[in-house]
Amino acid sequence: MTLVRCPDCGSSLSPVLVERLDDATGPRPAIDLRGLVRTIPDYPKPGIMFRDITTLLGHADGFRRAVSELASRFADDGVRKVAGIEARGFILGGALAHQLGAGFVPVRKKGKLPFQVIGNDYELEYGTDRVEIHVDAVGSGERVLLVDDLIATGGTAAAAIQLLEQAGATVLGASFVIELPDLGGRKRIEAMGHPVHALIAFEGD
């Protein structure tokens, strides 16, 4: 697919989306993405401020803007696959893959994929977890962008990057809507040699 430039942010878009943008009349107001994120205190346990992006996803212009801004950072990097982390990363990753003209790879929890898989175990605060992809999800040297809704400690993202590299992919970076900078996830991914792109930061979480 031949991509063209977004009139709003300069990112590469599919022609279908550009046609929709061109049909819009009048100036489009600036969108406060941060204001579209709902904060739920004490969920899923006391002391946690849960950042809920379903309100952003349900706002047509906000969702479009978020995906466009996520795409803009890597628009010229030759992304061939977008890997989305279960589960909200699937929503963002599918839209981002469409916008970049790339394929989509689901990074799933253990036992959720139907075909032969490869996996990577990683440490949690208490115990371990595992992420998996299909053995044929990415090709050797294929340029892959990782995406999820939020980066906190970066443990799941780091495990997903290691898994993609184990499968032979070239990981270009990781994109998130929300970053919780106090939890150190960005530094963890950057220490692995990969850039991190986040649209919103919530300090003090």
**Which CATH number covers residue 143?**
3.40.50.2020
Cβ-based burial of 6 (10 A; exposed 0-12, middle 13-18, buried ≥19): buried
Question: Residue 107 CB: number of other CB atoms within 10 A?
Answer: 27
- The DSSP bridge pattern shows strands 143-151 and 170-179 to be parallel
pLDDT over 90 for what percent of the chain? 81
What's the confidence (pLDDT) of residue 72? 94
Residue whose C-alpha is closest to residue 71's, from 33, 32, 97: 97
Mean pLDDT value across residues 117-138: 93
Query: What pLDDT sits at residue 205?
Result: 64
If one counts every other C-beta atom within 10 angstroms of the C-beta of residue 20, the result is 12
pLDDT at residue 22, rounded to an integer: 45
Residue pair 100/132 in contact (Cβ under 8 Å)? The answer is: no
- Residue 93's identity, in one-letter code, is G
Contacts 24+ apart (CB under 8 A), 191-200: 192/158, 192/161, 194/161, 196/151, 197/70, 197/73, 197/74, 197/173, 198/151, 199/33, 199/66, 199/69, 199/70, 200/33, 200/34, 200/37
Identify the band that residue 6 occupies on the pLDDT scale cut at 50, 70 and 90: low
pLDDT-above-70 percentage for the chain: 85
DSSP reduced 3-state for 130 = strand
Per-residue pLDDT at 29: 65
Q: What is the pLDDT of residue 20?
A: 43
Residue 204 has pLDDT above 90, yes or no: no
**Is-catalytic flag, 28?**
no
Q: How confident is the model at residue 3 (pLDDT cuts 50, 70, 90)?
A: low
How confident is the model over 51-91, as pLDDT tens digits? Answer: 999 999 999 999 999 999 999 999 999 999 999 999 999 99
| pLDDT above 80 for 153 | yes
188 is catalytic: no
Return the minimum-mean-pLDDT range out of 6-15, 169-178, 188-197.
Answer: 6-15
Residue 86 belongs to what domain range?
A: 4-201
Task: Count up the domains in the chain and report the number.
Answer: 1
What does pTM read for this prediction? 0.85
- What average pLDDT does range 40-53 have in this prediction? 94
Q: Which of 65, 80, 88, 186 is catalytic?
A: 88
The answer to whether 150 and 175 have CB atoms below 8 angstroms apart is no
